[in-house]
Structure 1
Amino acid sequence: FFTPFNIIFLPSFFPQIKPSKPNQSHYLISQPTNQSINRSSKPLIITQTHAMYSNFKEQAIEYVKQAVQEDNAGNYSKAFPLYMNALEYFKTHLKYEKNPKIREAITQKFTEYLRRAEEIRAVLDEGGSGPAANGGDGAVAAKPKTKPKDGDGGGGDGEESSKLRAGLSSAIVREKPNVKWNDVAGLESAKQALQEAVILPVKFPQFFTGKRRPWRAFLLYGPPGTGKSYLAKAVATEADSTFFSVSSSDLVSKWMGESEKLVSNLFEMARESAPSIIFIDEIDSLSGQRGEGNESEASRRIKTEILVQMQGVGHNDDKVLVLAATNTPYSLDQAIRRRFDKRIYIPLPDMKARQHMFKVHLGDTPNNLTESDFEALARKTEGFSGSDIAVCVKDVLFEPVRKTQDAMFFINTPDGLWVPCGPKQRGAVQTTMQDLAAKGLAAKISPPPIMRADFDKVLARQRPTVSKSDLEVHERFTKEFGEEG
């Protein structure tokens, strides 16, 4: 009799094992025949549960053994229902399995057999002879060797694959976001590392020969609003590569097995479009810690597929970069974390970066701020994130509009514009915005330029959104696993 560990961790176990048929002696604790019902009732309930649990496992293995034999023999119409029966028993077995390591291993095998069954079904539906088995145990996870039809995109699953790829096509960023490296304030180390991974390999491929290979996976982590997604936009703008921007909603499906295929198709499309970049925002929603109580079976399968694809086994992924962002790095599964070559901390902006952000967000909006005003604003916003500063400037941009709405006096400038002014200003006319609009002068009304006082008014009521405890968590993660950006 074998344990679950004997089953799961042998590389090619299913075609080799010879399980005996389910027998009571295998899973029921022997009880003396003269035991009373009262004494035996409780242990009997427990052992019956174990009997049912063990029987599902053995039935699944028996079906897989038969399926592999038929698969290797080319009898795909017989292999398909056997695979499906095995999957049903494995799925039921997982409901009773409590050991997280065994659950993870079984789930991984479940995914492999599900994928094989889908490959066989796709070929049978097309009326073909089926996937060519490569013999031996590896036939279980073998890929169909039939050439896909035009329009299948190389996915190998025919019409179904085409539909999945069509859904993922919206993730391709076809228009540049128009965010330059210079628009990203600070983060010099992060920008340099990304340039080494994205720009140099495309423009100067001769630099990367021998053992010198570009970085393949970046994890950007830090408090919310520090510019992780903004940095990804700069990468999309500057890189001469196909850019895929996805989130959990793009990769999670309500249909069993479809989420893994979406992940697989995403990476396959990226390889076909190389050089390419896959940006996964909020990756923690897809790759949280395994073994948690609230983890679903579908979530585990997605994580397994992401791990397999990022490992790149059997593929040349030198020209595919995976870029991911998260606000909660500690929630990532450790295996996912290890897949990222570079884990870069995106901290709150320093004083120089904040000063630059005020200028960038203000843009060419009329204002009378001086360089010393921008320095003073940067000092007053210690602890603000890039998002906080953007919200602050957006609020300030409305201050001239509010002044115009409340103004009781306007002045008519030489170029014919009506600008709010004080009652004692020379040439002031007592009127309101509504009165001017009623006279047909709405297009001539112009808000006043932004002043330093407008910023002071807004900052008096605004607070930073990132707490000290949030920063401590990210700084601790940086010391353990990451590097400064």
Structure 2
Amino acid sequence: MAASNTEHHHARSNKKANGGDCNSDDDDDNDPENKMFIDHVSGAILREKPYVKWDDVAGLHQAKDSLKEAVILPFQYPHLFTGRRLPFRGILLFGPPGTGKSYLAKAVATEADNSTFFSVSAADLVSKWPGESDKFVKTLFQQAKEQRFSIIFIDEVDALCSPRGEDESASKRMKAEFLLQMQCGLGNANTRVIVLGATNTPWVLHPVLRKRFEKRIHITLPDIQARTAMFKLHLSSTPHSIQEHEFKQLGEGSEGYSGADISIVVRDALMQPVRKVQTATHFKTARGPSRGDPNVIVDDLLTPCSPGAAGAVEMSWMDVPGEKLLEPIVSLSDIFMSLSTSKPTVSAENLMLQQEFSDNFGPG
């Protein structure tokens, strides 16, 4: 948020603090400064759906069921949630980094038809100028309430209680405004706004903020079935020679890996054929799709091989014309080689802290 000059921001800090009244409105709704806040928040609205379906999220069946119950059903069948059967207004996704919390949020954005999805991180709401952070928070909720159905996704929600770059009083104002909006803005049964928060460190959440998230969903490391499915999803249409039973071997051999870890392993494995091309000293002719037209099969391509292979010709990759190069397909050994060099990133200590929080405070 760039400003014209320092005096402008000092004047801004002397204005009356927001908050304190759930129904209070600004006196300067037509003020250019207020429009600046609205424009800033409007940038958080996802104009295009991410197109991440539930089936694109491997595993996490309990988490997906909880989100369908808490988010999708109330939007799709509002008549089911009347009287004392009220949907959850605050939902917290917590777990180790790389386990798919943001990916789940994208699936929610895709599956929740006719909803407006606001996606922000704590950094989007934190400002170094006094009074701006709490104003961002208030404007965010005001804009959400103006929509028919709204979902506010806040990544790294724990940082809202201890934003970097602000002094202690500004941090308190921001936290107070956020708690006020969570309490008053979401407590009204007629307000169809859901706050979806995500955090890697749930134990640092302020107790009052933790209480606002009525539903708490523990996103754990993927189990063997989920890991197996992840290898299949990440390889997708890439040519490979891996059989069904070999995918299970990959799932078994990647215990302790997060979804993000497996993504990195596969990306590295996809480079293994390129490395074979770079280090090859011999090539042989091979049959494969033409570079000009993949539907046409030709038999004059060149692929790397061992020196003792039939038809091997000594040459380097620099001697092979670009349109004649046929790289090897990804094999099981390629992925296991990448697994051996890419270690899990989630520590045992982190897992212990996550489980301790889950035992004490979640699932909600």
User: Normalising by structure 2, what TM-score?
Assistant: 0.86
2:243 maps to what in 1?
370
2:3 maps to what in 1?
none
How many angstroms does 1:178 deviate by? 2.3
Name the % identity. Answer: 48
Q: Give the counterpart of 1:424 among 289, 293, 308.
A: 308
Q: What CA distance in whole angstroms lies between the structure 2 residues aligned with 1:164 and 1:255? A: 13
1:217 maps to what in 2?
90
Q: Give the counterpart of 1:200 among 73, 77, 82.
A: 73
Matched, 1:278 2:152: yes
Matched, 1:249 2:123: yes
- Code of the residue aligned with 1:274 in structure 2: it is R
Q: What CA distance in whole angstroms lies between the structure 2 residues aligned with 1:276 and 1:309? A: 14
1:32 maps to what in 2?
none
Matches within 5 A, 1:292-371: 296-313=168-185, 318-371=191-244
- Code of the residue aligned with 2:37 in structure 1: it is L
How many angstroms does 1:142 deviate by? 5.0
Q: Give the counterpart of 1:472 among 341, 352, 356.
A: 352
Q: Would the aligned equivalents of 1:351 and 1:379 in 2 still touch at CA under 8 Å? A: yes
- Code of the residue aligned with 1:262 in structure 2: it is F
Q: 1:189 to 1:318 in 2, by over 3 A?
A: farther
Q: What CA distance in whole angstroms lies between the structure 2 residues aligned with 1:202 and 1:142? A: 27
2:258 maps to what in 1?
385
How many angstroms does 1:157 deviate by? 4.9
How many angstroms does 1:362 deviate by? 1.1
1:54 maps to what in 2?
none
- Code of the residue aligned with 1:463 in structure 2: it is K
How many angstroms does 1:316 deviate by? 5.6
Q: Would the aligned equivalents of 2:286 and 2:326 in 1 still touch at CA under 8 Å? A: no
Matches within 5 A, 1:403-422: 403-414=276-287, 415=298, 416-422=300-306
How many angstroms does 1:317 deviate by? 5.8
Provide the secondary structure at the position in 2 that maps to 1:171: coil
Task: Specify the structure having the higher radius of gyration (Cα).
Answer: 1
Q: Give the counterpart of 1:461 among 341, 353, 356.
A: 341
CA deviations 1:402-442 (Å, max 9, x no partner) are 10111222233342432222333333333222112xxxx31
- Code of the residue aligned with 1:356 in structure 2: it is A
- Code of the residue aligned with 2:324 in structure 1: it is K
Matches within 5 A, 1:75-154: 113-115=16-18, 142-143=24-25
Q: What CA distance in whole angstroms lies between the structure 2 residues aligned with 1:237 and 1:142? A: 33
**Which of structures 1 and 2 has the larger relative contact order (alpha carbons within 8 angstroms, sep 6+)?**
2
How many angstroms does 1:256 deviate by? 1.4
Q: Which runs of 4+ in 1 moved over 4 A?
A: 313-317
Q: What CA distance in whole angstroms lies between the structure 2 residues aligned with 1:114 and 1:381? A: 52
Q: Would the aligned equivalents of 2:125 and 2:133 in 1 still touch at CA under 8 Å? A: yes
Q: Would the aligned equivalents of 2:86 and 2:189 in 1 still touch at CA under 8 Å? A: no
Matched, 1:188 2:70: no
How many angstroms does 1:326 deviate by? 0.6
Q: What CA distance in whole angstroms lies between the structure 1 residues aligned with 2:97 and 2:310? A: 49
- Code of the residue aligned with 1:300 in structure 2: it is K
Gaps of 5+ in 2: 1-10, 288-297
How many angstroms does 1:266 deviate by? 0.5
Q: What CA distance in whole angstroms lies between the structure 1 residues aligned with 2:202 and 2:162? A: 9
- Code of the residue aligned with 1:143 in structure 2: it is D
Q: Would the aligned equivalents of 1:349 and 1:386 in 2 still touch at CA under 8 Å? A: yes
Q: Would the aligned equivalents of 1:288 and 1:333 in 2 still touch at CA under 8 Å? A: no
Provide the secondary structure at the position in 1 that maps to 2:197: strand
Matched, 1:264 2:138: yes
How many angstroms does 1:242 deviate by? 1.2
Provide the secondary structure at the position in 2 that maps to 1:426: coil
1:446 maps to what in 2?
326
Provide the secondary structure at the position in 1 that maps to 2:341: coil
How many angstroms does 1:288 deviate by? 4.7
How many angstroms does 1:380 deviate by? 1.3
CA deviations 1:46-75 (Å, max 9, x no partner) are xxxxxxxxxxxxxxxxxxxxxxxxxxxxxx
Q: 1:458 to 1:370 in 2, by over 3 A?
A: same
Using the TM superposition, name which of 395-404 and 269-278 deviates more: 269-278
User: Normalising by structure 1, what TM-score?
Assistant: 0.65
Question: As a proportion of its length, which structure holds more helix?
Answer: 1
Q: What CA distance in whole angstroms lies between the structure 1 residues aligned with 2:171 and 2:126? A: 9
Q: 1:184 to 1:343 in 2, by over 3 A?
A: same
Q: What CA distance in whole angstroms lies between the structure 1 residues aligned with 2:302 and 2:112? A: 46
How many angstroms does 1:230 deviate by? 1.2
- Code of the residue aligned with 2:155 in structure 1: it is D
Q: What CA distance in whole angstroms lies between the structure 1 residues aligned with 2:330 and 2:276? A: 11
How many angstroms does 1:465 deviate by? 1.2
Gaps of 5+ in 1: 1-83, 89-110, 117-137, 147-154
Q: Number of matched residues?
A: 337
CA deviations 1:289-308 (Å, max 9, x no partner) are 9xxxx971111111101101
Q: 1:468 to 1:317 in 2, by over 3 A?
A: farther
How many angstroms does 1:457 deviate by? 1.4
Provide the secondary structure at the position in 2 that maps to 1:231: helix
Q: What CA distance in whole angstroms lies between the structure 1 residues aligned with 2:284 and 2:111? A: 46
How many angstroms does 1:202 deviate by? 2.5
Provide the secondary structure at the position in 1 that maps to 2:161: coil
